């Protein structure tokens, strides 16, 4: 969730907790199901380039890369994070799993200028860090170099998720618990996320996922769309 800054030990512990949340709370499943719908429409062997925003230690790109390779899809991730500790941990994780189709870059997305366009962009537990105004600005920027669609994979704001997060973080450092609960409070109701995305794609689709996730897809490739 919101990884504490300044203490590498706490950052690493926080990312371990995030990996648990992604695994048991549906974060990986949201992304796999999205690409399970998208990739069959891509010509066999064609490279699909994905920009992952706020990647932390790349647990979701690593899991999805393995899944895609097993099915013969050619997917390349560029994992972006502004935090140097996060990018170093991500590079270590990518090296351990020998995922040569995952690149890790340290950059601020609001100043990021890629060398080539991407097919998709995605952000997992990323968009809740920003105000609505910043999210609109970010989506407008992404439309400049993302061809097909944006996947928002975030936390559903509700009492059940808050309670579960509180219980799971009891053994952890109190700062991690605080940031985890804050992330839940900053999460989205489905209607809120839909309202944001539909300003950029009137047909954007927002779904609830068991048990703690809400996801939204805004397409940039609709004919006659914005």
What's the whole-model pTM score? Answer: 0.91
Question: For 175-182, which contacts have Cβ atoms below 8 Å and span 24 or more sequence positions?
Answer: 175/4, 175/10, 176/1, 176/4, 176/10, 176/13, 176/14, 176/17, 179/1, 179/2, 179/3, 179/4, 179/14, 180/1, 180/2, 180/17, 182/1, 182/2
Ordered structural domains, the chain, with CATH: 8-219 (3.40.50.150)
28-76 pLDDT, tens digit each = 999 999 999 999 999 988 999 999 999 888 999 999 999 999 999 999 9
Give the pLDDT confidence score for residue 223 in this predicted structure: 58
């Amino acid at each position: 969730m919101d990884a504490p800054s300044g203490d590498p030990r706490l950052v690493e512990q926080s990312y371990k907790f995030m990996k648990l949340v992604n695994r048991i709370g549906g974060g990986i499943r949201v992304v796999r199901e999205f690409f399970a719908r998208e990739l069959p429409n891509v010509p066999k062997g064609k490279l699909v380039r994905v920009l992952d925003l706020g990647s932390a230690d790349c647990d979701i790109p690593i899991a999805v890369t393995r899944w895609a390779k097993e099915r013969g899809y050619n997917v390349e991730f560029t994992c972006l994070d502004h935090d140097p500790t996060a990018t170093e941990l991500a590079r270590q994780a990518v090296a351990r799993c020998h995922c040569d189709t995952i690149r890790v870059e340290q950059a601020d997305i609001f100043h990021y200028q890629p060398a080539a366009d991407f097919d998709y962009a995605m952000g997992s537990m990323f968009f809740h860090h920003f105000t609505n105004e910043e999210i609109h600005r970010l989506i407008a920027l992404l439309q400049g170099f993302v061809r097909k669609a944006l996947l928002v994979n975030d936390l559903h704001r509700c009492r059940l998720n808050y309670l579960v997060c509180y219980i799971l973080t009891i053994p952890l450092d109190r700062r991690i618990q605080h940031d985890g609960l804050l992330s839940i409070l900053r999460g989205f109701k489905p209607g809120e996320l839909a309202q944001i995305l539909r300003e950029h794609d009137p047909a954007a689709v927002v779904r609830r996922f068991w048990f703690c996730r809400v996801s939204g897809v805004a397409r940039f490739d609709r004919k006659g769309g914005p």
